[in-house]
Amino acid sequence: MTDTPPDQPCQLAPFARSRQIDDWPPSPQRNSGALATSNRGWRIRWPVLDLATCSRCGLCFLYCPDAAILLSQEGYPTVADDWCKGCGLCAAECPKDSIRMGEDGEDTQP
Amino acid sequence: MITIKNLPEPEYFVGHKACGGCGGSLVVRWTLKVLGERCIAVIPAGCMSAVGFIYPQMALGVNAMIAPFAATGAVLSGVARGLKARGIEDVTVVGFAGDGATADIGLQALSGAFDRRERMLYICYDNEAYMNTGIQKSGATPFGARTTTSPGGYRPETDAPKKDLIRIAAAHGIPYAATASVGYANDFLKKVQKAAQVEGPSFLHVFAPCPTGWGCDADSTVRLGKSVVDTGLWPLVEWENGAVRLNRNPARFAPLETYTGEQARFRRLTAADLADLEATRDRQWRALRAWVRESAGM
Amino acid sequence: MSQLAFLSGNEAVAEAVRLCRPKVVAAYPITPQTVVVEALAGMVESGRLESEFVHVESEHSALALVMGAAATGVRTFTATSSQGLLYMAECLYYASGGRFPLVMMNANRALALPWNIYGDQSDSLALISAGWIQAYAETAQESLDMIIQAYAVAEDPAVRTPVLVNLDGFVLTHTYEAVSLPEPSEVDDFLPPPVFPDDYPGTFDLARPQSLAITAGPGDYAVFKARQHWAMCQAAKHIRTTAHAFRAAFGRGCTGLVEGYRSEDAEFILITLGSTAGTVRVVIDELRASGQSVGLIRLRYLRPFPTDELNDALFGAERTVAVRALGVLEKDISFGHQGSVALEVKAALYDRGAGVPVRNFVAGLGGQDVSRAHLADCFTELAATLDTAARVASGVRFVGLKDLVDDHDQEPA
């Protein structure tokens, strides 16, 4: 009931603090899923995917603590730039070794 | 039945500020995927609240509130009763509390809520110390683990294992209680679904590795979640209306080092310590199997 | 129409709560609050009150539980006292910071150690900065009326600040008087419904999920706290308008945060709170009969503190005689300084530049009797405060201590 919700929950949306105190939330609250800051700066490495060997098992999607692996309609993973922290769980759990942890900024699907 | 093959697509825990590889955040993410949008989450002071609600970043996609540290069970009760008074019956009330908030400071409120048969699902994500405040020893810290308040490795006066939360929950006679681990996702997902469906309180005690606090690689969370079960240090148990079941009952356990060896917190464990740990584990399993037989009336 | 009932203060509170129809009631027993909880349990059991009555395992849980319930958008009630109030102290700040519109009754009782179950105001005054509106009732009737008004004030969207209604332990909680009991329909007309509107702030929303009781870092935190403070300051206005509306609907009750008794033409005034005011009135009548210029000002609310009202009552245009000295009479001591209420009063007067001497009388600690003779002594001693040196030297006066010890008026060397 407070500020305008983002178009989609859990999607990064611009946020500017109001200079008018009456425009602040009426209690310490905000719309759930309203996201203002990316976690992009947390990582020094991130997943590089080899889709040719990917078996589309979805374990990378399952085990990502940050919901930073998205699956396409066909079941292939992509990396959510804003949320990947570079922990490497996806790579460690991939049964086909289709994921390696490369440098942050490297093409995730070479 | 939701399994790892058909995990619902919507995400309800995104953009949080938990450390890389955090087991606790996996517990929250998976649970909310199972429960869906019509749920209200109560999270006490601790890692998951500290990383999930920093204005203006609201990482939970469902209705949620932070509870006072000691009061998860009480706030859950209040939410459940408020919904009941309003005649709202299709909303799941779920709590996510750490081991300190469950086994230590919040045990009294949890006991009260169990005793009153509140309609709630209480999930303890156990990372075996007070991680949010900087890795201090909790009532769930295991033998030998280094924390910042047990710098030489935790050495209890007796050989008593860490607080046995599943037995404490079961002793209240609640309809459903179980242990789970992030290493066994299907088992966890099945238990969340069972726990959400029972009338009255349900309790899940979930093994949730903390790479930051344990001194292990950020990508070891799931691996440790498996090896802790395979070594027999974290039995997968289900208590359902008085009957106890072992979800895994191996004849032989994996060597303890496959679990402890990856973690800096266990670096000071000697061979003798490991032998003690093994003896304690075996004693626990004998007690556990006896409990199973007893509950089955054998 | 309303009817007269013979009720104790506790019972009057329970009847008031029944009339306000809270959807969730949770409380933990502590003397001398127990009667309220017992009465409400009976009402729920008999069906006179339709509510979720929750047997909690501690006061901390009681307040945490009603917070959770309020977050679902329903009216709630809890009650406590003394050690219980302090045990839930963390949750008091939490509830006010979260802007949950709770109403709680507190039976004012002494704090251990030594253990003592009898009345004094140390408990609620220890939590005066907890962000709760603090009301102090004088009679059972006022207790009932304050509870009803408390819901109207707390739930006002502009206020959304919890209210603590204080009754002196035993002296008020357990003393019977004839109380006018409104009809349920009259209270229904006076209060908003006990289920809040869907868009009420600080509640969950199934259509647009909300995160409540969140974290705010340096900077943001200060903005939330400033808003909380200003809402509490605004509450004074709402307390007055609510009291006027109550008076219009029910034909009784004070409309201010302070109440004077024969004070406009009094040179010597005792300022006090709670049930002690009743005895002070009697003593004033007696002393007036012998020609003394004495009066009473009763603080009905300590938060928000009625600075303007108090100064107006003491120095405003309505006065016919100038005040020469003030005494603050309270059942509380802030160890190493003075009574908390005296400190509040002095701060309020100082800001206006009032140079009137103020004497602090600490009385009734742990249920010690506050007799007419004690109060007459207070008025006598007020005259002595005109001598500044004597005032400074004597510090806090423990009223009634001389009944027990001879050298009551001296700090040990």
Q: Is C25 on the interface with B (CB under 8 A)?
A: no
Residues A32 and A55 in one domain: no
**Other C-beta atoms within 10 Å of C316: how many?**
12
Within a domain: A110 = no
pLDDT (average), residues C86-101? 98
CATH code: domain of residue A70: 3.30.70.20
Half-sphere exposure of A80 (CA within 13 A, CB side): 23
Within a domain: A109 = no
Residues A33 and A58 in one domain: no
Residues A62 and A73 in one domain: yes
**Could you say which of A1, A17, A31 has the minimum Cβ distance to residue C201?**
A1
Within a domain: B100 = yes
Categorize the per-residue pLDDT at C406 as very low, low, confident or very high, splitting at 50, 70 and 90: confident
Class (C level, CATH) for C3-250: alpha beta
Residues A70 and A18 in one domain: no
**pLDDT by residue (tens digit) across B117-156?**
999 999 999 999 999 999 999 999 999 999 999 999 999 8
User: Do B230 and B207 meet the contact criterion of CB atoms below 8 Å apart?
Assistant: no
- With a cut of 80, say whether residue C411 has pLDDT above it: no
Interface B-C, measured as beta-carbon pairs within 8 A, has a size of: 153
**Could you say which of C55, C74, C213 has the minimum Cβ distance to residue B85?**
C74
SS (H, E, C) C209-234: CEEECCECCCCHHHHHHHHHHHHHHH
Within a domain: B139 = yes
Q: Which tokens go with C388?
A: 């500044």
Residues A44 and A94 in one domain: yes
Q: How far is A110 from chain B (nearest CA, A)?
A: 23
Q: How far is B171 from chain A (nearest CA, A)?
A: 33
Within a domain: B217 = yes
Report the domain count for chain B. Answer: 1
- Minimal Cα distance from A29: which residue of C? C212
Q: How far is C273 from chain B (nearest CA, A)?
A: 32
Return the ∠ at Cα C348 (arms to C342 and C350), rounded to 5°.
95
Residues A85 and A54 in one domain: yes
Q: Is C217 on the interface with B (CB under 8 A)?
A: yes
Q: Where in chain C is the domain with CATH 3.40.50.970?
A: 3-250
Q: Where in chain C is the domain with CATH 3.40.50.920?
A: 258-403
Residues A47 and A1 in one domain: no
- Chain C residues in contact with B115 by the CB 8 A cut-off are 57
User: Do C302 and C128 meet the contact criterion of CB atoms below 8 Å apart?
Assistant: yes
Q: How far is B264 from chain A (nearest CA, A)?
A: 18
Provide the mean pLDDT of chain B: 96
Q: What is the DSSP letter of A51?
A: T
- Minimal Cα distance from A27: which residue of B? B55
Residue carrying the six token digits 């140390």: C122
* Angle, helix C340-351 to helix C307-315, in steps of 10 degrees: 70
**pLDDT by residue (tens digit) across C304-353?**
999 999 999 999 999 999 999 999 999 999 999 999 999 999 999 998 88
- Residue A70's closest CA among A44, A90, A43? A90
Residues A26 and A77 in one domain: no
Within a domain: B3 = no
pLDDT at residue A49, as a whole number: 97
pLDDT at residue C385, as a whole number: 74
**pLDDT by residue (tens digit) across B64-120?**
999 999 999 999 999 999 999 999 999 999 999 999 999 999 999 999 999 999 999
pLDDT at residue C392, as a whole number: 56
Within a domain: A20 = yes
- Chain A residues in contact with C226 by the CB 8 A cut-off are 21
Interface of C with A (CB under 8 A): 97-99, 157, 160, 198-203, 205, 208-216, 220, 223-224, 226-227
Residue B275: CB partners within 8 Å, gap ≥ 6? none
Interface A-C, measured as beta-carbon pairs within 8 A, has a size of: 61
pLDDT (average), residues B261-272? 96
Residues A56 and A6 in one domain: no
Q: List chains adjacent to chain C, taking adjacency as at least 3 C-beta pairs closer than 8 Å.
A: A, B
Measured CA to CA, the distance from residue B195 to residue B3 in angstroms comes to 15
Domain ranges, residue A91:
40-103
CATH code: domain of residue B53: 3.40.50.970
Domain ranges, residue B266:
23-295
DSSP H helical segments within chain B, as ranges?
A: 23-35, 47-52, 72-85, 99, 107-115, 165-171, 185-197, 211-214, 221-230, 257-260, 271-295
Report the domain count for chain A. Answer: 2
Which of 2.60.40.10, 3.40.50.800, 3.40.50.920, 3.40.50.300 would CATH assign to domain C258-403?
Answer: 3.40.50.920
